[in-house]
Structure 1
């Protein structure tokens, strides 16, 4: 089982969605994938959840921390 982390600095833009999509292509079954972004991009979190779910990922952790960052942790389910 591998772990992948993607930290997005600033507001999420189209290029960031492309990066997320690229990462999803390398994450294998049961790998852990964590995306971290600033809480000023919270409106983008629903889009990210949908991207993950539409690509056979199970989101099992989402939330924030004391540094003003939000995180989503997911793993790819069996296809």
Structure 2
């Protein structure tokens, strides 16, 4: 089991979405993928949830922390 982390600093832009899709392509079954972004990106987090779910990922942790960050942790479902 591998763990992949993507920290998005600042406002989410098109290149960040491209990075997410790059990670989606390499994360395998039972791997853990965590995306961290600024807390002011709540609307963006919904879009990221949809991206992951449409690519056969299960989101098992999502929420904010005391540092003003949103964290999304997911893993790929069995193919």
TM range (shorter): over 0.9
- TM-score when scaled to structure 1? 0.97
After TM superposition, what 4+ stretches of structure 1 lie above 3 angstroms from structure 2? none
1:42 deviates by 1.1
1:41 deviates by 1.1
User: Structure 2 CA distance, aligned partners of 1:77 and 1:14?
Assistant: 26
The aligned residue for residue 2 of structure 2 is 2
Q: Does residue 68 of structure 1 match 2:50?
A: no
Aligned pairs (5 A) from 1:21-40? 21-40=21-40
The aligned residue for residue 47 of structure 1 is 47
Gaps of 5+ in 2: none
Q: Does residue 14 of structure 1 match 2:14?
A: yes
1:62 deviates by 0.1
1:40 deviates by 1.2
For the aligned residue pairs, the C-alpha RMSD in angstroms reads: 0.5
- TM-score when scaled to structure 2? 0.97
